[in-house]
Structure 1
Amino acid sequence: MRYQDQLFQQRENALLQSARQLFQEQSWDRVTIAEVARHAGIGKGTVYKHFSSKEALYARLVLDCSRQHLGELRETANQAPPREAMRHVIRRAFEQLLADPLQAQLCLLCDRPAFQERLDAPYREQFLELEGQYMALFNQLLQGSFSELKLSPTDCQYLLWGVEACVNGVMARIASGGFAHWAEPIELDAYFQRVTDFIIAGLQGQAAALHTAPVLSE
């Protein structure tokens, strides 16, 4: 790699690390590009050679971390028996979010339509590609969990809507700080276990219902 390319990569990494640290210290919506540049020891104008906007910086943080998480989930799936892989992957996904509440906050931000509309096209395309990779993993998990039912792509899509809704609910709970402010705080590990049980039971019931549903005549 050329020296100029190495320097460019080093600056970009410094900006990403500084942004993450600042977001952990104060509300992400209050952090400015000027603060990120100052924290990284880089001129503000140089930031825009790497990121066209603060939204692009958010997006890059989310994409990089999400890709790492996806790799870990794939490894988790490969190490578990097919019938148990879905449960293991869901629990691992919850643990990833709990270990990094900032990622949960930024994921929820980046999922908003208004945020996506402000992104440059290449970033929107990367989010769509990443979503497709997550969908492919969970389709694989569904097919392994219910191999005898021979689920169609449409069946898998219906089932994944429910999984997504539950996972997004857990993500929002983690992003908001858990249950510490409740009169009777809930232990998060028990919460994750119950939600995982709920998802698995729902998948089992709905998969069976889709398989036995009568075909309506036109």
Structure 2
Amino acid sequence: MRYQDQLFEQRENALLDAARQLFAEQPWDRVTIAEVAIAAGIGKGTVYKHFPSKEALYARLVLDLSQANLVELRDLHAASPAQDAMRRVIRRAFEQMMANPIQAQLCLHCDRPEFQERLEAPYRQQFIDMEHQYQLFFGDMLSVTLNNQVLSQTDCQNLLWGVEACVNGVMARIASGGFSHWAEPIALDDYFARVTDFIIAGLRAQATALLTHPLSHE
């Protein structure tokens, strides 16, 4: 790698690290590009050579974490017994969110249509590519869970929508701070377990129905 490329990468990583640190100390949506530049020891004008907007900075943080999480989940799935692989992956996905509630908030923010509309085209494409990677991974997990029985791409997509709704609900709950404000608080670990059970049971039941009556969903 050329020296100039190494320097560019070092500056970019410094900016990302500075943003993460600032977001942990104060509301992330109030942190300015100038504050990120100062914390990273980099001129404000230089920041825009790396991130043309605050939206681009948010997007990069979310995309980087999503990619790292996907790698971990794939490794976990490959190392788990087939009968328990999806359950372990879902629980670990919830734990990943819980480990970084601020990132959960950012993920929800970046998924909003108005945010995507303001985002530069290359970043929008990266989100599409990331979604495709998660879809492929879900298809692989579903095949293992169903003992290698094959569903159509349309059926897999329909099942994924249900899983996505559950996962987004968990993400929103984590982003909002859990259940501590409820009259009868629920331990998040118990909540994760119940939602995981619900997802697994729903997937198996719906997949069995689709395999038995392939035309019933049309």
Flag whether TM exceeds 0.5 (same fold).
Answer: yes
User: Relative to structure 2, which stretch is displaced further, 130-139 or 147-156?
Assistant: 147-156
Q: Distance in 1 between matches of 2:93 and 2:214?
A: 35
What corresponds to 2:44 in structure 1? Answer: 44
Decide whether aligned partners of structure 1 residues 114 and 83 sit closer, same or farther in structure 2, where only a CA change above 3 A counts.
Answer: same
Matches within 5 A, 1:17-166: 17-147=17-147, 149-166=149-166
What corresponds to 1:11 in structure 2? Answer: 11
> Could you tell me whether the CA contact under 8 Å between 1:159 and 1:206 is conserved in 2?
yes
- Which consecutive unaligned segments of at least 5 residues does structure 1 have? none
**TM-aligned CA deviation for residue 127 of structure 1:** 0.6
**TM-aligned CA deviation for residue 214 of structure 1:** 6.5
**TM-aligned CA deviation for residue 179 of structure 1:** 1.0
Q: Distance in 2 between matches of 1:199 and 1:133?
A: 20
RMSD: 1.5
**TM-aligned CA deviation for residue 150 of structure 1:** 2.7
Q: Distance in 1 between matches of 2:60 and 2:52?
A: 11
**TM-aligned CA deviation for residue 215 of structure 1:** 3.6
Matched, 1:171 2:171: yes
Decide whether aligned partners of structure 1 residues 151 and 35 sit closer, same or farther in structure 2, where only a CA change above 3 A counts.
Answer: same
User: Relative to structure 2, which stretch is displaced further, 78-87 or 110-119?
Assistant: 78-87
Q: Distance in 2 between matches of 1:214 and 1:2?
A: 55
Decide whether aligned partners of structure 1 residues 215 and 11 sit closer, same or farther in structure 2, where only a CA change above 3 A counts.
Answer: closer
Q: Distance in 1 between matches of 2:113 and 2:214?
A: 37
Taking every aligned residue pair, what percent have the same amino acid on both sides? 71
Secondary structure of the 1:52 match is coil
Q: Distance in 2 between matches of 1:81 and 1:30?
A: 45
Secondary structure of the 2:49 match is coil
Q: Which amino acid aligns with 1:138?
A: F
Secondary structure of the 2:144 match is helix
Off by >4 Å, runs of 4+ in structure 1: none
Number of residue equivalences: 217
Decide whether aligned partners of structure 1 residues 166 and 213 sit closer, same or farther in structure 2, where only a CA change above 3 A counts.
Answer: same
Q: Distance in 1 between matches of 2:88 and 2:214?
A: 32
1:100-141 per-residue CA deviation (whole Å, 9 max, x = no partner) reads 111111110111111111111111111111100000001001
What corresponds to 1:206 in structure 2? Answer: 206
Q: Distance in 2 between matches of 1:21 and 1:190?
A: 30
**TM-aligned CA deviation for residue 38 of structure 1:** 1.2
Q: Distance in 2 between matches of 1:58 and 1:66?
A: 12
Q: Distance in 2 between matches of 1:15 and 1:148?
A: 44
> Could you tell me whether the CA contact under 8 Å between 1:82 and 1:141 is conserved in 2?
no
What is the TM-score when the length of structure 1 is the normalising length?
0.95
User: Relative to structure 2, which stretch is displaced further, 119-128 or 75-84?
Assistant: 75-84
Q: Distance in 2 between matches of 1:192 and 1:199?
A: 11
What is the TM-score when the length of structure 2 is the normalising length?
0.95
**TM-aligned CA deviation for residue 148 of structure 1:** 5.9
- Which consecutive unaligned segments of at least 5 residues does structure 2 have? none
